[in-house]
Amino acid sequence: MENLATSASEFDQFFKTLAGRLRKETHLSDITYTAIELIPEFKKDFIRYFFEHLNADEEIEVIREFPLPSADGQPDFVFRAESWDLIVENKIWDRKYHFDQYGKAPLKPGKLVYVGLIANHAVPIPSASTWQFRQWDDFVDKFGKKNYGRFHPVFVAYLNYVKEICTMAEFENFTFDPKSLFALTHFVRMAERALRTTSSASYEIVIKPNQKWNFGDSWAGHWFDLKPADPKKTLNLFFGVDFSYERESPAITVDVHEPENPICFNAIKKASLKSSFFEKIFRKENETVQLHMPAERFNSVSADLSKENQLNALRSFLKASCDALLKSIG
């Protein structure tokens, strides 16, 4: 059991890392295709998930991006059995559903063709349509109850990947503390003020507007560019609060993500960055160097009743972090 638990954890970490880089519909389709081909019972269950009456025990070929004989498109998945064909289209952000294209004619004369759509959002199916619609949220709930034996650890990790890609909101019971409901709003606004007032003679801080990743399941803040005199050494950073489950308590952080900083990341990762204002952590699961405010300092800032003192503390932390990062890359 210990080896199984270790495998599950390692698979989950692997897929979480993939989710940070492979976020497109095609990526989700490719990895789902891999799971279908790897796990025989999952292939059968996937087919029955759309059409229960289809005989999934036949020999079935699965094809990605199958070119239709009519040359009118390439469905994401085509399942080909002796007596039937099944087209399944996957959508995350795209709203072109191909209702008027797929399933209008058989893929092979004399064979029945069925059509399904799975998406991470509600889709109204045209009246009188034979399409079957499924939603990724329901897929995760339904297949989360399955156990595919020796494939179970990798399958659970795959489902977690689906959650990440489809931005499914995990939730538990909640309890409102009226006094703290606006805390994140006030923090984010104060963090913005700190960013706008911390540029120096050595560098300029520029907030990146309208970033969809400013807020997430367990973080809130701002993405910004740290621009020194040498434009080749500009860093793309995140400044905010991290309150993820892995932490014993929240932390105010400056994050350096490898994909956004491919030229300078290794130097920052290897650098010995030390300060009373921050502690350096390397988060391997998402290739991130994180400078976070020590717990004692964080608790002191959080408890301070003066917004001026809090703003100054944020600016001091931000300045120390920016100075150290630029120094580490020369």
Residues pairing with 63 in the sheet: 78
Higher per-residue confidence, 311 vs 111: 311
Which of 116, 136, 165 is the last residue before a domain boundary? 165
Q: What is the mean pLDDT of residues 190-198?
A: 96
pLDDT of residue 122: 85
Chain position carrying tokens 């703290």 = 180
Residue 163: predicted pLDDT: 87
Residues 128 and 187 in one domain: no
How far CA 225 is from CA of 82, 88, 203, 249, in Å, comes to 57, 41, 10, 27
For residues 300, 318, 217, 94, the Cα torsion angle rounded to the nearest 10 degrees is: 170
Expressed as residue numbers, the domain containing 62 is 2-165
Q: Which residues of 290-307 are buried (b: 16+ CB within 10 A; e: fewer)?
A: bbbbbeebbeebbeeeee
List pLDDT tens digits, range 60-69.
Answer: 999 999 988 8
Quote the pLDDT of residue 22.
59
Rounded to whole angstroms, the Cα distance separating 122 from 137 reads 10
29 and 141 belong to one structural domain: yes
Is pLDDT at 59 greater than 60 in this prediction? yes
Same domain (yes/no): 17, 124: yes
Residue of higher predicted confidence among 9 and 34? 34
Task: Specify if 250 maps to a domain.
Answer: yes
Same domain, 19 and 67: yes
pLDDT for the residue 12? 63
Q: Give 175's pLDDT tier (boundaries 50, 70, 90).
A: confident
117-144 residue pLDDT tens: 999 888 888 887 889 999 998 999 999 9
Question: What percentage of the chain exceeds 70 in pLDDT?
Answer: 90
**Distance between CA atoms of residues 221 and 145, nearest Å:** 36
- pLDDT attached to residue 315: 97
Q: Is residue 152 domain-resident? A: yes
**Mean pLDDT, residues 105-111:** 88
Q: Pairing state of beta strands 235-242 and 279-283?
A: unpaired
For residues 309 and 193, membership in a common domain is answered with yes
Residues 125 and 208 in one domain: no
Q: Could you read off the pLDDT of 28-56 as tens digits, one per residue?
A: 999 999 999 999 999 999 999 999 999 99
Of 140, 165, 190, the position where a domain reaches its end is 165
Element containing residue 19 per DSSP (H, E): helix 2-21
Q: Tell me what pLDDT residue 168 has.
A: 57
Is the same domain home to 289 and 144? no
pLDDT at residue 1 in the model? 41
Contact 278, 239 (CB under 8 A): no
In a domain, 210, yes or no: yes
Flag whether 172 is in a domain.
no
Whether residues 138 and 32 share a domain: the answer is yes
- For position 23, what pLDDT does the model report? 65
More confident site: 216 or 162? 162
pLDDT for the residue 180: 84
Give yes or no: residues 255 and 300 share one domain.
yes
Residues 138 and 70 in one domain: yes
Picking from 46, 28, 26, the residue whose alpha carbon sits closest to that of residue 167 is 28
**Is 79 or 178 the better-scoring residue by pLDDT?**
79
Q: What pLDDT is stored for residue 20 in this prediction?
A: 60
Angle between the N-to-C axes of helices 2-21 and 152-165, in degrees from 0 to 180, rounded to the nearest 10:
30
Half-sphere exposure at residue 23, Cβ-oriented, CA atoms within 13 angstroms: 8
For the entire predicted model, the pTM comes to: 0.56
pLDDT of residue 2: 44
69 inside domain: yes
Pairing of strands 77-80, 61-64: antiparallel
Domain boundary among the residues 142, 165, 188 is at: 165
In this structure, is residue 161 part of a structural domain? yes
Confidence of residue 151 (pLDDT cuts 50, 70, 90): very high
Q: Is residue 215 domain-shared with residue 284, that is, in the same domain?
A: yes
The predicted-structure confidence for 77-105, as pLDDT tens digits, reads as follows 999 999 899 999 999 877 888 888 898 88
* pLDDT for position 26: 86
Percent of the chain as helix, strand, coil, to the nearest 5 = 40, 20, 40
Residue 197 and residue 320 in one domain: yes
263 falls in which pLDDT band (50, 70, 90)? very high
Q: How many domains does the chain have?
A: 2
Residue 39 in any domain: the answer is yes
170 located within any domain: no
